[in-house]
Amino acid sequence: MITRTPAGGPPPLRRLDSPIGRIEVMGDGRSVTSLSMERAGHLPGEELPERGDAVLDRAVDQLEEYFAGRRREFDVPVRLVGTAFQLAVWNRLAELAFGEEISYGELGRSTGRATAGRAVGGAVGANPVPIIVPCHRVLASNHRITGYSGGNGIPTKVWLLDHERIGFHA
């Protein structure tokens, strides 16, 4: 769902081309609030005009550097809105370093919910700012890819894992 700014205008929005398709980054003027990857040739806000701001311009620059192999971490402000459990999962994901992976089980244990595998998977899949909050770094305990909700799904995740040289089993 596309939200409007309090003044009623469209939210700040920037787009960029990437090796995994077009990406759309939205914000609130102070933080990045969402990142969407092209799916089946479409972006959620494609009918909206681009209107950058300092935060989104910096986010786009950092994403371009990431895809070019010149950046390993992001330092743009991100505002995440979700349940307390989702926020705990997303905050743990944000701590993962470039090339570091974690299993769903490890992620659950690190957030105090060792047996909440399905809930962890749901929280990972609901991440509103993928790549910057690196949900692609989550694998099954046997290093298999179990899915990916961003972009074109598993092929997008494979590209991101390969880019970071994270080993996985197909």
b/e per residue, 38-77, with b = 16+ CB within 10 A?
A: bbeeebebeebeeebbebbebbbebbeebbeeeeeebebe
Q: Is 125 helix (H, G, I), strand (E, B) or coil?
A: helix
C-alpha separations of 127 from 53, 165, 170 in Å = 22, 22, 23
Which of 135, 139, 160, 166 is the catalytic position? 135
Query: Is 61 one of the annotated active-site residues of the chain?
Result: no
SS3 letters across 47-115: CCCCECCHHHHHHHHHHHHHHCCCCCCCCCCECCCCCHHHHHHHHHHHCCCCCCCEEHHHHHHHCCCCC
Catalytic residues: 135
